[in-house]
Structure 1
């Protein structure tokens, strides 16, 4: 089964096709300057160096990969985080911004038409002269009202494609903003999953520390009884009490870490930090991955990783900016025209009025600008080089993330297996040491050392189980597993009211809802 492309990537490709058709409609007879963008070909490895042997090139389907951790509460929290997270809301707003900027760029392809109207009250004074002149002067000095209306239009022909390159760049920028939204969702889902797994891990470690403390308190009580019976020393009693206190001292540190993980989950879901405290209070098992993730081929990250896609789209945008800057080196031709009418009565504007019009081409040729236009081209070429380097760096980072996650997950599973053996052996050693100590066949130091080793092994095993799940999450993120459902970007977070003509009110301080 092929891995599906994220929804936003599909949408951006459709947007690009629509732009191409529109650009052809507006500029079939015009040329364009600057380089035409082509996706760079990178030398990619055939397979991952740390991929398990025997796995084919088929990658695991990453749609809602977190369900592989088999925890319904985690799935619910991820859904809530996608709906309420503030970083995701910011990424949505940037998509709306990129859409608006693209509409602005498209507007430059069309003519601009402005309308004007005016009403003026006029009076012209006449000079003294003959009787006939006095009569004319008397007529000229009478006040009158002049009504005027007209239209002005201009249209840049875009012979060298500067405006069309701007539209092309704006479209690439819009596609990159969609990829940035996918990247924000990928990061959010990973952060929610990691903090949830860590919170459950801290709960398990707190429970272990409490059980171990209770067991060590019992050992201290037995040691005290043996001391009172003359079968143990006061040193043994003090050591038993000290070990129980040492184990119990770990509990506050673990509780702090647990609270921080819960607070982070609250903020990630767009709520106040303590919003999920009661909801997560009941301890549950550490989520464990059910199925392995097959990484597929390294070339898959070019499409699956949103940060790589965004870097490639920004490379395309910077390439289009070169053509936009180069177009400024060439002459520009605009068609301008206007029509105006004037009359002394409003009703005469359409029939008994003075009408004037003009139209014609306007040519603008850059002659001397101190090298500014050529320097602007050099700037865009340098920016294109930076974008190309950033794209290559994003690809290498993606490959590195996958390799690191693969080796970490593989080795951590081996480590957990050895730790499980260690825990079982330490349990047997602790049980035997206690039996021998109670019968007087062993010293208390054997019990002390066995209990300390058992607690350390069990606590380390819990941490290893958390690490396996977090490595699984890291691998899913590295392979580009994110949110694939449709995302509403049209609804703004802040909705203004009363935006029509009005008298501005005085600013008021923000209100705090109790």
Structure 2
């Protein structure tokens, strides 16, 4: 016959390893692996304007050499509402992750009660206090997979914040460049119209002297008016760009009007833009990193759905103490306790749990495709931006030569007209061509800066400074327990 101590040792030898297995658990569902994608070895459009060396993305906008632009970027990062919303999403994701991770730990609740009762003719008090504890053993890793998915969701929210900042910096730079471009084009239109008015006045004097026709006078005045007619559209476009800048910085639309009213030069990049290698986009582009984290999150959710198809075990326990006086609860009281596991096994659910796992797997596939699409889109963005930046610089050089030639032609035509050696039609055509060439040159100069901005955005250049996402937008007060009052709303 086996004695009790031997039985106890045998039971312990079986129970302790079993408990260790229960506590360590196992994992179901696929383990996430970062996908390996086939990427080009180099950019097909790289050249002298875009040398293949590591991209210089840190505060790239400062290389435009405009202090006002630098200040506006700083103000936008601090005040933009989209950034504030992305920060709140980060706080939400972090709190959700903490909430999910809490499911891995035991929960303990305390309870107490007091009653006065009559039994067998005697009246007495009864005080009761106790604790209840429960712990779901994560046998198949469902809770761990949930925590894993929540961690990936937090990382995706961080990348969404960085993507919002990248877009913001690019939008501020683009609208600022556009505003300076409209200012330059308005100044050109006014200057050209003034010159054309002077030509019209000269033509009128020639008409009065009998050396010009009324047709020449009408054509001269009509051309000046046509040039002046461009001003309303340019003024509207300028106002829209400035209003957009104000809103991007978190201000009312008109708050930057006076500040930007003074004309400034169109920012222009001075140095080539290094592009690095296509594989760098996997690290530099926040939208690509976000898509990859979302794919990882979807993969972890398959494990959650798969774990729901397996048995679950919970440990629960309770400790209660009862006494007739409060002071006796810890000494002269009756104590009761209970402890034990509970097992839940899915037996029949009509295929619901299997279908839920298939849903998770299909969702994972969609996020994988979305990640591949994000990578391809990023490659396309860079290739297009490289071509646009290079070709616009070539175009700008030709337009500068064109404007210079038309400027000489206009000066010569006006000089010959004043001396009576040329017809007014030569002056009319020369002035019209000159204005068109100079306006096109200004538009191209804006396009160069805009393509520079687009290229840096495509390469993943955004805000790389510290962004504190921990501060709430709304600070609640008087949130503790208090008497409820009638709503005043």
Give TM-score scaled by structure 2 length. Answer: 0.94
**Cα distance change of structure 1 residues 28 and 447 upon mapping to structure 2, 3 Å threshold:** farther
- Alignment of 1:43 onto 2:38: yes
What is the match of residue 364 of structure 1? 344
What is the match of residue 480 of structure 1? 460
SS of alignment partner, residue 342 of structure 1: strand
Query: Is 342-351 or 257-266 further displaced after alignment?
Result: 342-351
- Tell me the alpha carbon deviations over residues 227-272 of structure 1, each in whole angstroms, 9 at most, x when there is no partner: 0000001111011111101101111110110010000000000111
Assess if the C-alpha contact under 8 Å between 1:26 and 1:109 holds in 2: no
Q: Distance in 1 between matches of 2:233 and 2:56?
A: 39
Q: Distance in 2 between matches of 1:505 and 1:453?
A: 76
Assess if the C-alpha contact under 8 Å between 1:111 and 1:155 holds in 2: yes
Q: Distance in 2 between matches of 1:507 and 1:208?
A: 61
Q: How far does residue 344 in structure 1 lie from its aligned partner after superposition?
A: 1.7
SS of alignment partner, residue 291 of structure 1: coil
| Aligned pair partner of 1:32 in 27, 32, 46 | 27
Q: Distance in 1 between matches of 2:188 and 2:433?
A: 14
What is the match of residue 322 of structure 1? 302
**Cα distance change of structure 1 residues 27 and 386 upon mapping to structure 2, 3 Å threshold:** farther
**Within-5 A mapping of 1:289-368:** 289-368=269-348
**Within-5 A mapping of 1:50-65:** 50-52=45-47, 57-65=52-60
Q: Distance in 2 between matches of 1:76 and 1:56?
A: 29
- Alignment of 1:455 onto 2:450: no
Q: Distance in 2 between matches of 1:33 and 1:374?
A: 13
Q: Distance in 2 between matches of 1:293 and 1:428?
A: 34
Assess if the C-alpha contact under 8 Å between 2:51 and 2:275 holds in 1: no
- Tell me the alpha carbon deviations over residues 86-105 of structure 1, each in whole angstroms, 9 at most, x when there is no partner: 10111111111111011011
Q: Distance in 1 between matches of 2:40 and 2:262?
A: 47
| Aligned pair partner of 1:180 in 153, 160, 169 | 160
- Alignment of 1:270 onto 2:250: yes
- Alignment of 1:76 onto 2:56: no
**Within-5 A mapping of 1:112-127:** 112-124=107-119
Q: Distance in 1 between matches of 2:381 and 2:22?
A: 44
SS of alignment partner, residue 286 of structure 1: coil
| Aligned pair partner of 1:203 in 183, 192, 197 | 183
Assess if the C-alpha contact under 8 Å between 1:182 and 1:306 holds in 2: yes
Work out the number of aligned pairs and report it: 470
What is the match of residue 217 of structure 1? 197
Q: Distance in 2 between matches of 1:323 and 1:346?
A: 49
- Alignment of 1:384 onto 2:351: no
- Alignment of 1:250 onto 2:250: no
Q: Distance in 2 between matches of 1:473 and 1:64?
A: 12
Q: Distance in 1 between matches of 2:351 and 2:469?
A: 43
- Alignment of 1:429 onto 2:409: yes
**Structure 1 stretches lacking a partner, 5+ long:** 1-24, 125-139, 510-514
Assess if the C-alpha contact under 8 Å between 2:23 and 2:138 holds in 1: no
Assess if the C-alpha contact under 8 Å between 2:302 and 2:361 holds in 1: yes
SS of alignment partner, residue 475 of structure 2: coil
Q: Distance in 2 between matches of 1:144 and 1:260?
A: 81
Q: How far does residue 428 in structure 1 lie from its aligned partner after superposition?
A: 0.9
- Alignment of 1:143 onto 2:123: yes
**Cα distance change of structure 1 residues 53 and 232 upon mapping to structure 2, 3 Å threshold:** closer
**Within-5 A mapping of 1:87-106:** 87-106=82-101
Assess if the C-alpha contact under 8 Å between 2:183 and 2:263 holds in 1: yes
What is the match of residue 260 of structure 2? 280
| Aligned pair partner of 1:502 in 478, 482, 486 | 482
Assess if the C-alpha contact under 8 Å between 1:169 and 1:320 holds in 2: yes
Q: Distance in 2 between matches of 1:290 and 1:309?
A: 31
Q: Distance in 2 between matches of 1:420 and 1:55?
A: 22
Q: How far does residue 141 in structure 1 lie from its aligned partner after superposition?
A: 2.8
| Aligned pair partner of 1:171 in 130, 139, 151 | 151
Q: How far does residue 29 in structure 1 lie from its aligned partner after superposition?
A: 2.5
- Tell me the alpha carbon deviations over residues 449-501 of structure 1, each in whole angstroms, 9 at most, x when there is no partner: 11111101100100000000000000000000011111111111110000012
Assess if the C-alpha contact under 8 Å between 2:55 and 2:459 holds in 1: no
Q: How far does residue 143 in structure 1 lie from its aligned partner after superposition?
A: 2.7
Q: Distance in 2 between matches of 1:153 and 1:373?
A: 29
Give TM-score scaled by structure 1 length. Answer: 0.89
What is the match of residue 404 of structure 1? 384
Q: Distance in 2 between matches of 1:286 and 1:470?
A: 11
SS of alignment partner, residue 152 of structure 1: strand
SS of alignment partner, residue 229 of structure 2: helix
Assess if the C-alpha contact under 8 Å between 1:216 and 1:243 holds in 2: yes
